Structures are given as C-alpha cells and as structure tokens.
Amino acid sequence: MSATGAPPSFQVLQQAAEWFAVLGAPAVDAQAHQRWRQWLDADPAHQQAWRQVEAISGKFLNLPGGNKPMAHRLLDAAATGQARRRQALKMLTLLCGVGLGSWGASQAVPWRRWTATHHTALAERREVRLADGGRVWLNTDSAIDVDYGPGLRRIRLVAGEILVTTAPDTQTPARPFVVDTAQARLRALGTRYSVYQEDDASVVAVFDGAVQVEPVTPGAAGGILHAGQQARITRAGHVAAEPAALARRSWADGLIVAENMRLGDFAAELSRYRRGHLGCDPAIADLRIVGTYATADTDQVLATLENTLPVRVRRTLPWWVVLEGR
C-alpha cells in the first residue's frame, strides 16, 4: 500500500511496467538507471508499484520477485568502472531485496493449493465426483479440501471458484453438506450453486434450491439465498441479494457471459484465465460489454474487444497487457 493506504493507481503501475521494460532492454546506460532510481524514490506508491510489477515478472523470468537477466545486465554494465559497479550492486540489491518480500507474500497461498485434495492450474477446469454422487467443478486456479466425516459432508474452498451440484446423502441420518470459505459456512438445502473466493469476500450464486449463509463472525447477519439469487459475503455478513449472474456458472462450459458487464469487471474476470497482468484504464472501465467469450483463447478475446469497442490493447511487456482508450 501507498502512504495513503490505497493501492497504486493504474497510471503508476503503467509507469513501473514501462521502467521494467526500459531496464530489461539489451543496452541500458547509467542515466536511465539514475532516472529510474529518481522515479522510484519519488513516492512510496512508485515503490509499491515496482514491487508488484517485479513480482509478476519474476514468475516469467525465473527469479523470485525480480528479473534475473536484468540483474545480470546491471552487473555486466558496471564492470567498466568501480563507481558504476557500486551503483549497480545497490540496484541489484534493490531488485532482489525489494521484490523478494512481495514475491514471498504472493506465494504464501500456493502451498495450500498444491496440498489440497483437488486443485486446478491456470486456465484449467476439472470435474470431481464426490463419494455421495454429488459433483464439483473447479474453475481456473482453484483448490478445495474434501472432508466427509461421520456427521458432516464438508468442502473447504481454499482458493478460486467452484460449482456444486449436491446429491442426497448415502448415509442415514443424512449429514449436512457445507462449503466453508474464509468468510462463511454455506449450508446446501438441496441445490446447485457456485462459490467464488475473493481476497476479502465470498460470492455465492444459487441456481437451484437454496443455500443457508452462516458468517464466521459471531452475531454477523446470515440468511438464506434462493434460486436465482447471489450475494457477496464478508465476515460482517452478507449484503442484499441480487439476481444471479450467468457468468458465475458459464465458466463451467469454458465461457464468460457478459450481460451488460462493465469493461473493468470483464477484464478482471478474463485475467483469471491468462498468465501475467491484464489491466483496464479507469477512463474506459465503465464501458459496457455484452456477449459470450471463450476463456480458452484470451488473446482472441482481446482482439475481439479491440475490433468492437473504442479500445486498444497495449502490451508493455509480453506478460503486462492493458486496455486503453483509442
């Protein structure tokens, strides 16, 4: 977070990505290094944005939180003079040290995903048959733990999104079927529903039957969601129900269904199916989009947006893509 507690703006993130591209060029002079350092030191938000760009780029460049080829070039360029070498070593420390904290934080959850009962990779979908005959579909980059005990059928959503179709229990008396998230226990009342784990909330959409919402915070408002409803649930409780979005189940068929969706929200949804960063300039984020889009080819989806909307796709880095106005 910046000094104000807010994440870096779209513009600042773009500046960081552009600097990353500059420093990753085959030949970078000392003046470019100095200008980058001045930009970096000018605002805590710049440092936060740099860490974010570096953490994402490090996944593509095989260096935790940093750019290994860039770091090597900094040292190679410094070999012509001791002063420049000292400067490059300081920058190398910054490249590795500043980025490591961010990378470490971003990698804190994956071990839980890898050890989960079932998990999917980026852009992968998977159907799981449960012991009682129920079915669970896992969306991209998702993970669940399945625990069927003597008195409870429990799924813990570790990360990502699932679509659940419950079945009558094979035991008597019947055990309750629940999905636990970081914010609530969701008790199925004979149903088909989806659950999406966001950073600070769970989005529940019910398509058949009903779901009882029990927030983890004692005394927080719960309630029942019925077929055709969805709600965003925080630890404080769940907000008023709204119509269930088709996008919350169409992913099981490999599709994003946009029903007058904000372009900013669509970009966030599409980004879940591709590696790297996909951003949207706030100036065009409120444009509305309608249609059905296949998640298997996100580059084709971006090309379609460019051909049908007043936007252009800007690729600052191969893994850093943004939508901007034309």
C-alpha–C-alpha distance, residues 138 and 128, integer Å: 8
* Sign of the dihedral through C-alpha 312, 316, 318, 320: negative
> And the tokens for 197?
């784990």
Q: pLDDT digit of tens for each residue in the chain (326 aa)?
A: 455 567 899 999 999 999 999 998 888 889 999 999 999 999 999 999 999 999 898 888 764 444 444 443 443 444 444 444 445 444 444 444 444 333 333 344 566 777 899 999 999 999 999 999 999 999 999 999 999 999 999 999 999 999 999 999 999 999 999 999 999 999 999 899 999 999 899 999 999 999 999 999 888 888 999 999 999 999 887 767 999 999 999 999 999 999 999 999 999 999 999 999 999 999 999 999 999 999 999 999 999 999 999 999 999 999 999 999 99
> Would you report the helix, strand and coil content of the chain in percent, each value rounded to 5?
35, 30, 35
Cβ burial, residue 294 (10 Å; 0-12/13-18/19+): middle
23 membership: H or E segment, kind and range: helix 10-23
Quick one: DSSP state of residue 269?
A: H
Of the candidates 288, 277, 296, which has an alpha carbon nearest to the alpha carbon of residue 140?
296
Q: Is the pTM of this model over 0.95?
A: no
How many residues are there in the chain?
Answer: 326
CATH of the domain spanning 254-325, picked from 3.30.565.10, 3.55.50.30, 1.10.20.60, 3.40.50.800: 3.55.50.30
Strands 320-325 and 277-280, bridge-based pairing:
parallel
CATH class of the structural domain 111-245: mainly beta
What is the domain partition of the chain in residue ranges? Answer: 10-106, 111-245, 254-325
- Cα distances from 5 to residues 8, 10, 45, 209, 257, in angstroms, run 9, 15, 10, 41, 34
How many other CB atoms are there within 10 angstroms of residue 41's CB atom? 10
